[in-house]
Structure 1
Amino acid sequence: MEIMNGKDNLQSIEAQAHVWNTLYRFSDSLFLRSMVELGIPDLIYSHKKPISLGELASKLPIQDVNLDKLRRVLRHLSYMKIVRVVEDADNISIADHYKYTLEEPIGFYLLKSYEKSMVSNILGMLQKEFVIPWHYIKEGLNSSSTPFEKAMGMTFWEYLEGHLDDSKHFNEGMASETRLLTSSLVDGCRDIFQSISSLVDVGGGNGTTLKAISKAFPHIKCTLFDLPYVVANAHDDSSGIQILSGDMFNSIPSAQAILLKLILHDWGDEDSVKILKKCKEAVAREGGKVIVVDVALEDEGSHEDALSGSRLALDMDMLVTTGGKERTKEDWEKLVKLAGFKGCKIRHIGAIQSVIELIP
């Protein structure tokens, strides 16, 4: 090998660092889950002032905490920009020398009590059974089966229906994601919702989105529609929301507008066309709307947006778990025309997802 000059050597080190960081990125996710399970962000925040290593150790739900291990854990949380380390020069003991506070605003999203908490996302998505299929990506590339099916012997949806505890955690995670999205959806689409009189939320889970829409636009007659085992856990708060169960591949209740939030990305193009055709049958002929809330990816090679990495990660999640996909603007235009719509209008709402309004 030729002797590298200083610039080449620096580039080599940076390249190695990139590969190492990518290699260990999985550990950040699992590490984060463990810290959330222990309630470390909540314990730091509830202390109201920088908490020492010894004080934090005394509050953890485990016995005989090793302070050196805990210090290393918190050092990594600091690297992840979740906590901030404050050194107390007057104390030299390991228990009191290091003190910790939450980084703002990142740390807030890891608090169970925060209105936009992502704790349920973390616990739901990082269940062991949902991580195992990622080891089967290779096997899923040359098959119509998903990596999830290869790993678990059934589809993702069959698994959820047969494992109600895991399904509950998954739906809680979806509800958490919905809370993050809903305010942007309501604020960014007021003109759409103000123009409709009835709405069916297809695959609406426990009703988190519909409850927010109903509160913001009380003139809309709202209906929640999902599979029977899902709506069994729907919010029943006498809000006037009608709850119906069924299969969207068979029929969808009629309304002026249909909402498909985080639904079509779960399915490939063939199944998505079937769903959209059922939606077209269900909406009013005059003034009918189909409102899709899903990712709209940038064109190939254009990934400058701050959320591009998250959107591409979601696409890989769909590849592994459901066999679905995230779509570009061109993909959306082709898909809706295959389903019999004239086209679509995409608006960005300050979230990972966009709103795709279908033109009947």
Structure 2
Amino acid sequence: MGYLSARKKMEIELQNEDVENDQLLRAHSHAWNQTYSFIKSMSLECAIQLGIPDTIHKHGQSMKLCKLIAELPIHPTKSHGIHRLMSILTLSGFFTVQEASEEDDDLEEAYMLTNAWKLLVKDNPYGMAPYLLTSLDPVKMKAWHHLSAWFRNDLSTPFETAHGIPIWEYAHHEPNDNQVFNNATKSDSRLISRAVTTECKGAFEGLRSVVDVGGGTGTLAKAIADSFQHLDCTVLDPPHVGTNNLKFVAGDMFEAIPPADGIILKSVLHDWGNEECVKILKNCREAISGDGRRDNKAIAIDMVKMENPKEEEDESLGTQLCFNMLMMLLSNGKERTEKEWAKLFLGAGFKDYKINPVVGLRSLIEVCP
């Protein structure tokens, strides 16, 4: 009996050891995947800089690897690396591979663009290439390497820890960086404009004038002005050339906002902490309260962070959590849940709000005094 018990004990120990080894190896693979996930982003940046999506798009059909290599601006000794680059981008869902048919002499695979890649083609009016390139530029990436140092100091952001000044001040002193940022927000605003002017027409009913706060070069405001001819639209930011019902006014949203029936805040509030947001929103409420019209409102376009996501929404939650980290890194802002938004609106003196989740990962939020 003693021998059998010892043998049984050894078998159990071996089984436990096998389970432990399997768990350890799975954990090791998971850690590797997370450690090297940045390679997908950097490979994406490289492909855009080399013009790979544009080259395939102009080709008009699936493109064989040899043909692609021949048209890319690369050194001949580096051609072997393109297959590796295309392999990881295919795995990431940016390309599909068309296998060669039996009639094909060289049996070489060919690449086609997916819908995701179409957003990275330069002549796509809703393209995301500028947004991606500004997100991965070395200036912002440097801040990530100072994240742990920021947790130990009293500076406002990891960006300030890395560069010595806040991001808004840095952009003011670096016109090239500011131009890259403007290009990114312009491309994003085109996509938002399409959704806002088609899916959210009701948000502008009863309004006669709107001010786009922090509207940059006026991409969103121009689309609204073109779609709603009855609206007088103003962009509060550095001055630019306007049109008949679109004008630009230089100003500071923390000081005052020009009076209007509606105030638009696209991706503005998530850049700031709660105290700054309440200040901005109070200025919005003051701007729309002048004539006492009941239809007046502030319109925020921002993320509403999920609290209890469904399984199919896990990827969207992951993106929102990444943006939440990004806001902390760059500007000491944050992405907010509905409860957090409601607290801001009430704190600024607004009485009611309505969330319209029709702008992809972001929502159009109507905030009423």
TM, length-normalised to structure 2: 0.88
Among all aligned residue pairs of Structure 1 and Structure 2, give the percentage whose two residues are the same amino acid.
34
Q: How far apart in 1 are the matches of 2:326 and 2:214? A: 19
Question: Secondary structure at the residue paired with 1:176?
Answer: helix
Q: 1:9 to 1:336 in 2, by over 3 A?
A: same
Q: How many angstroms apart in 1 are the aligned matches of 2:58 and 2:192?
A: 27
Distance 1:303 1:277, change over 3 A: farther
**Alpha-carbon shift at residue 301 of structure 1 (Å):** 7.2
- Cα 1:302/1:159, change in 2 over 3 Å: farther
Verify the 8 A CA contact 2:242 2:248 in the aligned structure 1.
Answer: no
Count matched residues. Answer: 351
Match of 2:300 in 1: 292
| Structure 2, unaligned runs of 5 or more | 1-12
| Superimposed CA distance per residue, residues 265-289 of structure 1 (whole angstroms, 9 cap, x where no aligned partner) | 0000011111111111111332321
* Amino acid across the alignment from 1:280: R
**Of 150, 158, 171, the match for 2:169:** 158
Find the partner of 2:32 among 7, 15, 20.
20
- For the 8 Å contact 1:211–1:239, the answer to whether it is kept is no
CA distance in 2, matches of 1:240, 1:355: 23
Q: In structure 2, what is the equivalent of residue 81 of structure 1?
A: 93
The whole-number CA distance in structure 2 between the counterparts of 1:263 and 1:189 is 19
Cα separation, 2, equivalents of 1:309 and 1:321? 19
Cα distance in 2, alignment partners of residues 310 and 38 from structure 1: 26
The alignment status of 1:334 with 2:339, answered yes or no, reads no
Instruction: Give SS of 1:276's match.
Output: helix
Q: Could you say which residue in structure 2 is the equivalent of 1:194? A: 205
Within 5 Å, which residues of 2 pair with 1:1-360? Answer: 3-4=15-16, 12-88=24-100, 97-103=108-114, 105-142=115-152, 143-226=154-237, 228=238, 231=239, 234=240, 236=241, 238-284=243-289, 285-287=292-294, 288-299=296-307, 305=313, 306-360=315-369
- Cα displacement (A) at 1:188: 2.9
Secondary structure of 1:307's partner? helix
CA contact 2:262–2:298 (8 Å) conserved in 1? yes
Structure 1: state its 5+ residue gaps. Answer: none
User: Residues 128-172 of structure 1, C-alpha deviation per residue, up to 9 Å, x if partnerless?
Assistant: 101110112222235342000000100010011110111110111
CA distance in 2, matches of 1:91, 1:13: 42
Structure 1 position 14, deviation (Å): 4.1
Letter in 1 for 2:56: I
Deviation string, structure 1 residues 104-129 (Cα, Å, up to 9, x no partner): x1121111112221111111211110
Deviation of 1:345 (Å): 2.1
The separation in 2 between residues aligned to 1:91 and 1:127, in whole angstroms, is 41
* RMSD of Structure 2 on Structure 1 (CA): 2.3
- 1-structure distance, mates of 2:226, 2:40: 38
Shift of 1:5: 7.6
Deviation of 1:28 after TM superposition, in Å, equals: 1.3
Contact 1:256-1:283 within 8 A present in 2 as well: yes
Letter of the 1:298 counterpart = M
CA offset digits 1:305-355 (Å, max 9, x no partner): 242222111111100000001111110111111111223222211411112
The question of whether the paired residues in 2 share the 8 Å contact of 1:186 and 1:213 is answered with yes
Residue 257 (structure 1) shift = 0.9
Question: Which TM-score applies when normalising by structure 1?
Answer: 0.90
Contact 1:194/1:217 (<8 A) preserved? no
Q: Distance between the aligned counterparts of 2:213 and 2:91, measured in 1?
A: 41
